[in-house]
Amino acid sequence: MTPLELVLATLIISTILYTLINSLLNPAPRGLPPGPKPWPIIGNLLHLGRVPHHSLAALAKKYGPLMHLRLGSVHVIVAASSSVATQIFKTHDVNFSSRPPNSGAKHIAYNYQDLVFAPYGPKWRMLRKICSVHLFSAKALDDFRHIRQEEVLVLINALFQAGKAPTDLAKLLNVCTTNVLGRVMLGRRVFGDGSGDEKSEEFKQMVVEMMVLAGVFNIGDFVPSLEWLDLQGVASKMKKLHNRFDEFLNKILEEHKESNGEDGHVHTDLLSVLIGLKDDAEGEGGKLTDTNIKALLLDLFTAGTDTSSSTVEWAIAELIRNPKLLAQAQEELNQVVGRDRLVSESDLGQLTFFQAIIKETFRLHPSTPLSLPRMASESCEIDGYHIPKNSTLLVNVWAIARDPDVWSEPLEFKPDRFLPGGKNAHMDVKGTDFEVIPFGAGRRICAGMSMGMRMVQYVTATLVHGFDWEMPEGQMVEKLNMEESYGLTLQRAAPLVVHPRPRLAPHVYQTNIV
């Protein structure tokens, strides 16, 4: 053994011994919720399994809907019922409004300078207000309606031109949602139409890689004394991915600054607004910096593209598996819209059955199956159990929406449950009914919920209205792969490859594309 290897081995052994002694000298506080017995040093990390939201749901059946785990040296509280979620998001919402330290925020999200991971306080409120006013308000969404319409037409054209060739719907959906956000945020498309576009494929892979890495339970986050070892290589991968995103965002920022004002052209997109706000007097949240702007763009691109496109993909997959439901939705669209034009956003409010399909998709396939972690700022009590200060909170959104005490036949895709007269007709997905909270709830509910809802509803309605959907030759609907690929977001394990068959009047598909 070389001297360097000897020093390294000594450091590793010393670190492990320190961690073990520290855990023995600092036993868990009394009165914690029940949970499985932790192992020395790593705690319950092995209990998480390959798909944590599944493993935690199974553990909740044994230990109850409020559960305690020790991941390394960190106390983790897991909520798995709507009643517990109600207490967290209503009674104790302020106490759980900050995020715990984590490697994703540190190494990818510009060291907590973004909206998603920023500590609850003045800076977070400033970033949230900027997004609420300039991007997600009802007026802003209406102002950008033409962009959504134009990019959905590009999608429809690409599907129409596909003919009988198998079509990677996931890729086209990602291009559509990314270009919508690109035009809203930057004033221009990020990609072409997605057909053979290497840049779009690379960006999709970057986003998926980010979501996968962010969903990993990194040992260094839970055993701080082992962080420097980067045992899983997660931190190293995050740093490399951050550099790729940073290069992408720096280029966008510089091009935007240079082009703004050229030939009398002034941008009216979000990035121009953000650049303008940099010159404003410093407010309670401090000055807006280039780093804040890049971090905000990173949030919006990653959270706004992958979540919307994957939810639409799940919806179409469920309808392919349930042809009677697809036919029923198409009949409703025929009655409300007809077959001589495409559905518009203004039609969506009249589509009762279709809206039930969207709710059921969000219930069965929430884009974020485990809510983004929160941290207890102070000790508190929930259901008579002690919740320690600085403990991490996870809400198993996926498990709550499949609770058999709330949902009849919870594993079945049954939109009828949300129709008038149905058992769950009164429930919505916007954070006030804690039985189904795909966007989270409370102060840190997803900032882009309103835009995400519009995109998912409009794109899905257009695909259902405009096409019949068939499996590639030789594949049976019954064998359609519905397995999940776990990351921070709920991806399909296998992208949805289908044959779209146009079902409307031919002239509908010949609309001019911008």
| List of residues 6+ apart from 63 with CB closer than 8 A | 33, 34, 35, 36
Domains of the chain plus CATH, in order, are 31-510 (1.10.630.10)
Is the pLDDT at 225 greater than 70? The verdict is yes
Report the percent of the chain where pLDDT is more than 70: 89
| pLDDT in the model for residue 196 | 47
| Per-residue pLDDT, 511 | 63
Q: Is the pLDDT of residue 23 over 60?
A: no
Residue 221: per-residue pLDDT = 84
- In tens, the pLDDT along 455-486 reads 999 999 999 999 999 888 778 888 899 999 87
Distance CA(66)–CA(57), nearest Å, equals 11
* pLDDT higher than 70, residue 285: no
Tell me: pLDDT of 260 over 90.
no
Q: Say yes or no to pLDDT of 329 above 90.
A: yes
Residue 261: CA count within 13 A, CB half-sphere: 5
Q: What is the pLDDT of residues 25-63, one digit of tens each?
A: 455 677 999 999 998 888 898 999 888 999 999 999 999
pLDDT category of residue 256 using cuts at 50, 70 and 90: confident
**How confident is the model at residue 219, as a pLDDT?**
83
Please report which confidence band the pLDDT of residue 5 belongs to, taking 50, 70 and 90 as the band edges: very low
What is residue 414's predicted lDDT score, i.e. its pLDDT? 97
Q: Lowest-confidence range among 155-159, 185-189, 440-444, 459-463?
A: 185-189
Q: How confident is the model at residue 390 (pLDDT cuts 50, 70, 90)?
A: very high
Strands 490-492, 484-486: pairing is antiparallel
**Is the confidence at residue 254, as pLDDT, over 50?**
yes
At 514 the pLDDT is: 46
Q: Cβ neighbours of residue 58 under 8 Å, at least 6 residues apart? A: none
3-state secondary structure (DSSP) of residue 84: helix
Q: Residues with Cβ < 8 Å from 2, sequence gap 6 or more?
A: none
372-390 mean pLDDT:
95
- The residue among 253 and 149 whose pLDDT is bigger is 149
How much is the pLDDT for 420?
A: 93
- The better pLDDT of the pair 387, 273 is held by 387
Consult the annotation and say whether 380 binds a ligand: no
Burial of 263 (0-12, 13-18, 19+ CB in 10 A): exposed
> Token pair for residue 434?
């804690």
CB under 8 Å to 130, separation ≥6 — which residues?
A: 273, 274, 277, 288, 296
Q: Which two tokens stand for residue 293?
A: 């702007």
- pLDDT band at 441; cut points 50, 70, 90: very high
| pLDDT at 205 (0 to 100) | 78
pLDDT for 223: 80
Which helix (H) or strand (E) element contains residue 45?
none
Note whether 436 and 429 are within 8 A (CB). yes
Nearest to 366 by CA among 439, 455, 304: 439
Mean pLDDT of the chain: 87
Q: Phi and psi dihedrals of 239, rounded to 5? A: -65, -40
Q: Which residue has the higher pLDDT, 350 or 259?
A: 350
- The whole-number average pLDDT for the span 111-139 is 91
* Residue predicted with more confidence, 365 or 267: 365
The CA dihedral of 405, 408, 410, 414, to the nearest 10 degrees, is -150
Q: Is the pLDDT reported for residue 358 higher than 50?
A: yes
d(CA 91, CA 98): 15
Give the model's pLDDT for residue 11.
Answer: 46
Of 290 and 319, the structure prediction assigns the larger pLDDT to 319
